[in-house]
Structure 1
Amino acid sequence: MHVRMTLLAAGRSSPVADVRFDDDRSLDATGWEEVVRRAPSLSYLAAAELRYCSPSPRCRETGAVLGLTPLAQPALLDWDMGRWRGATLAEVTAREPEAVQQWCTDPRSAPHGGESLLSFIRRIGGWLDTRPTAAGEWAVAVTEPSVLRAALCYVLKAPPHTYWHIETRPLATLTLTGRTGEWRLGLL
Structure 2
Amino acid sequence: MRARLTLLAAARSAPLLDARFDDDRPLDDAGWRELHRRVSALAPLAAAELRYCSPSTGCRETGRALGLAPLAQPALRDCDMGRWHGLTLREVTAHEPRAVAAWLSDPFVAPHGGESLAAFIARVGSWLDTRPLDAEGSIVAVAEPAVVRAALCHALTAAPGTYWHLDVRPLAAVTLTGRAGQWSLSVA
Fold shared by both chains (TM-score > 0.5): yes
1:72-83 → structure 2 map (5 Å cutoff):
72-83=72-83
**For residues 57-80 of structure 1, what are the alpha-carbon distances to aligned partners after superposition, in whole Å with 9 as ceiling and x for unaligned?**
000000011111000000000011
CA contact (8 A) 2:3 2:132 kept: no
CA contact (8 A) 1:5 1:140 kept: yes
Partner of 1:98: 98
TM superposition shift of 1:22: 1.1
1:6-155 → structure 2 map (5 Å cutoff):
6-134=6-134, 136-155=136-155
**In structure 1, distance between residues paired with 2:8 and 2:72:** 14
CA contact (8 A) 1:125 1:155 kept: yes
TM superposition shift of 1:180: 1.0
Aligned-partner SS, 1:13: coil
Count of residues paired in the alignment: 188
**For residues 99-155 of structure 1, what are the alpha-carbon distances to aligned partners after superposition, in whole Å with 9 as ceiling and x for unaligned?**
000000010000001100000111111000111241543100000000110111111
**In structure 1, distance between residues paired with 2:136 and 2:178:** 10
Q: Cα RMSD (Å) of the superposition?
A: 0.8
- Structure 1 runs of 4+ aligned residues shifted over 4 Å read none
CA contact (8 A) 2:50 2:140 kept: yes
Aligned-partner SS, 1:61: helix
Where does the alignment leave 5 or more consecutive residues of structure 2 unmatched? none
1:181 aligns with 2:186: no
CA contact (8 A) 1:2 1:136 kept: no
Aligned-partner SS, 2:7: strand
After TM superposition, the score normalised by the length of structure 1 is 0.98
Q: Give aligned-pair identity as a percent.
A: 64
Where does the alignment leave 5 or more consecutive residues of structure 1 unmatched? none
Aligned-partner SS, 2:87: coil
After TM superposition, the score normalised by the length of structure 2 is 0.98
